[in-house]
Amino acid sequence: MTETLFLTSDDISGLATPADYVDRVADGYRQRGDGAPADPRTALFADDPTGMLTSYTAILPEDGYMGGYTYSAGFGAGDAWFMTPLFDADSGEPLALLDGASMNPFKTGAIGAVGIDVLARENATRVGVIGSGAQARGQLRATATVQELTAVEVYSPTAANREAFAEGMTETLGVDVTAVESSMAAVADADIVITATSASDPVFDGDQLAPGTHVTAMGQYNPDKRELDTTTIERSTYVPDLRDRATQDAGSFLHAVDGGVVDESHIHAELGDVVADNAAGRTSDDEITVFDSGGTAIETVAAAGMLYERAREQGLGSTIEFAPASDALTGK
């Protein structure tokens, strides 16, 4: 038997700051750029009741961790549950099982911030946000750790939601966050555009992007999800989290390919290659850049390893026992 640490969402909450997540996730993507293995998600869909079961995995050898994410969303309860197993990358033994709910917006926000850090202009200070949920808040909190923001404009279809977002994030960040009445109003003066939606149709007109804008798109994890139009993809230096994911389920990119606007050669590089300095990021102030993130186990394993270490230091969590197969299968 081996003892494995179980960490609840409450155990995890507050263990790390947004900047902590960004630093750890950036290093995880550097490891990916240096050859760390990671696979895109596998998703199974059900129709009755409607739901999705998703999993993905990665190994971060320098951190000494491997694992991933398995989560269900929808189904009869109409909710989501996030389970994160963490293994020792040397012995293979299970180290921890985390309820990933409270870390989800932070680790997802962190990967967006890493993309902004290596692809946005250094003097990018104005942000346009499309979306007002937990993921949008996570993205903006993390962005503020890598850029000195001067103004933020947010749009989502429900006025009360965007106004609540603006009020709450103004207080959180100490930056003027304003609710606007259209997505184009959010995009018009932005140096950085963040989309964090579940949209099936483009949420802004790519012709309206100013030269030099960086776009981080977070809702690109299904061929039918399409936050960005073909114009945005065509105009951009396009960087996904994983190349294989872009060709598997990055809806906006796949629509552009299907429309004959671009082909797979339009993928400039994976994010990890840029972070590891194996590929150039932005090369001019006029360049439009896109980071397309649908979620990988790289940020999950990086964040989970950090939380595991801190939980052990603080004596948090409880233990559960796992039997090695050599014992269990022989009845020892």
Determine the Cα–Cα distance for residues 73 and 57; give it in Å rounded to an integer. Answer: 18
The SS3 assignment for 79 reads: strand
Q: Are 63 and 295 in contact (CB under 8 A)?
A: no
Radius of gyration of the chain (CA): 20
pLDDT at 332: 57
C-beta neighbour count of 132 within 10 angstroms: 25
Angle at 271 between CA 34 and CA 17, to 5 degrees: 95
Amino acid at 216: T
Secondary element (H or E) of residue 50: strand 50-60
Whether the CB-CB separation of 215 and 289 falls below 8 Å is answered with yes
What whole-number distance in Å separates Cα of residue 201 and Cα of residue 164?
Answer: 24
Asked whether 252 and 327 are in contact (CB, 8 A), the reply is no
Structure confidence at residue 1 (pLDDT): 81
Task: Give me the phi and psi of 48, to 5 degrees please.
Answer: -145, 95
* Per-residue pLDDT, 199: 87
Write down all domains in the chain, each with its CATH number in brackets. 2-104+297-328 (3.30.1780.10), 111-292 (3.40.50.720)
Mean pLDDT for back-to-back runs of 10 residues, the chain (332 residues):
93 95 98 97 91 94 96 90 96 96 93 97 97 94 97 97 97 96 96 93 95 92 87 97 94 94 97 98 96 94 98 97 82 58
Question: For residue 291, what pLDDT is reported?
Answer: 97
Determine if the pTM surpasses 0.85.
Answer: yes
